[in-house]
């Protein structure tokens, strides 16, 4: 049973436009959410996170929105750049997760076209 | 470089052989995690250490797998009698309490 799902395996966006990556979760005990970016043959790189006490967190071009009632979060990248092309993973942790262990979604491959 | 370091980056081994991977976490991080990632999937949790104590192990971690963090600093992950299904990227991450985890570049294992 997948507790964190990213239903879009891929997304293609034009440079300069907004990229919106979505993530859904089922475990109501999750209270901390993160987005990671991954290039081939490298480990995931932390991008941005949000606690369940907030509904929005912004860092430069990256904004994460959390809708707890819908158990849904999204990552907005504005404006998108070709260097943003990578696989993006949504992850979640909660009070029942040992030591903040993360449960990951399956990833969304973002392609930003020049 | 003060990030998470993993060694080796790549390992090719014959089925049935034992392999050992090393992870050096960020020095001030007391929490260390091992994850496994297969093609097209997100990373899956394997095990977690707080300092030298192994506090959690996933059901994915069969009895052929063992992890240690003897002095609360670096960690090793050993796989005995490797099988083709063990082929994956093995990722190490570290964190402090209440913070997001930072990952190393991973060790890609290929069992032939």
| A41 in contact with B, Cβ within 8 Å | yes
Q: Do B91 and A4 touch (CB under 8 A)?
A: no
Going from the C-alpha of A63 to that of each of A13, A83, A104, the distances in angstroms are: 17, 17, 19
Is residue A98 pLDDT above 60, yes or no?
Answer: no
Strands A86-94 and A108-113: antiparallel
Strands A108-113, A10-14: pairing is parallel
pLDDT digits (tens, 9 = 90+) for B48-58: 999 999 988 88
Which residues are bridge partners to B36 per DSSP?
A: B44, B90
Q: Which residues of B touch A89 (CB under 8 A)?
A: 42-43
**Mean per-residue pLDDT over chain B, rounded:** 93
The whole-number pLDDT of residue B61 equals 85
pLDDT tens-place string over residues A103-112: 999 999 999 9
pLDDT band at A48 (very low <50, low <70, confident <90, very high): very high
A43 interfaces chain B, CB cutoff of 8 Å: yes
Grade residue A99 by pLDDT with cuts at 50, 70 and 90.
low
Contact across the interface for B106 and A98, Cβ inside 8 Å:
no
- Per residue in B60-108, pLDDT (tens digit) is 888 999 999 998 899 999 999 999 999 999 999 999 876 778 999 999 9
pLDDT at B1 over 60: no
A62: helix, coil or strand?
Answer: strand
- Contact at 8 Å (CB) between B23 and B106? no
Report the residue from A6, A44, A101 with minimal CB separation from B103: A44
Is the pLDDT confidence value at A6 over 90? yes
Q: What is the pLDDT of residues A75-85, one digit of tens each?
A: 999 999 999 99
Considering only CA atoms, which of A21, A89, A92, A23 is closest in space to residue A51? A92
Is the CB of residue A87 less than 8 Å away from at least one CB of chain B? no
């Amino acid at each position: 049973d997948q507790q964190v799902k990213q239903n879009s395996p891929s997304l293609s966006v034009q440079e300069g436009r907004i990229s919106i990556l979505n993530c859904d979760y089922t475990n109501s005990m999750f209270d901390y959410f993160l987005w990671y970016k991954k290039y081939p043959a490298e480990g995931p790189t932390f991008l941005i996170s949000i606690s369940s006490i907030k509904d929005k967190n912004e860092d430069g071009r990256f904004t994460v929105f959390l809708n707890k009632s819908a158990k849904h979060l999204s990552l907005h990248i504005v404006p998108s750049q070709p260097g943003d092309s990578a696989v993006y993973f949504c992850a979640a942790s909660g009070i029942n997760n040992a030591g903040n262990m993360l449960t990951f979604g399956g990833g969304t491959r973002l392609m930003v076209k020049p | 470089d003060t990030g998470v370091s993993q060694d080796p980056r790549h390992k090719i081994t014959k089925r049935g052989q034992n392999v050992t991977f090393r992870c050096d976490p960020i020095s001030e991080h007391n929490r260390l995690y091992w994850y496994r990632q297969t093609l097209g999937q997100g990373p899956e949790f394997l095990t977690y250490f707080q300092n030298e104590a192994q506090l959690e192990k996933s059901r994915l971690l069969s009895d052929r797998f063992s992890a240690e963090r003897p002095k609360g600093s670096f960690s090793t992950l050993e796989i005995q009698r490797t099988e083709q299904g063990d082929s994956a990227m093995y990722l190490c991450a570290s964190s402090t309490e209440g913070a997001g985890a930072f990952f190393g570049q991973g060790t890609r294992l290929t069992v032939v």
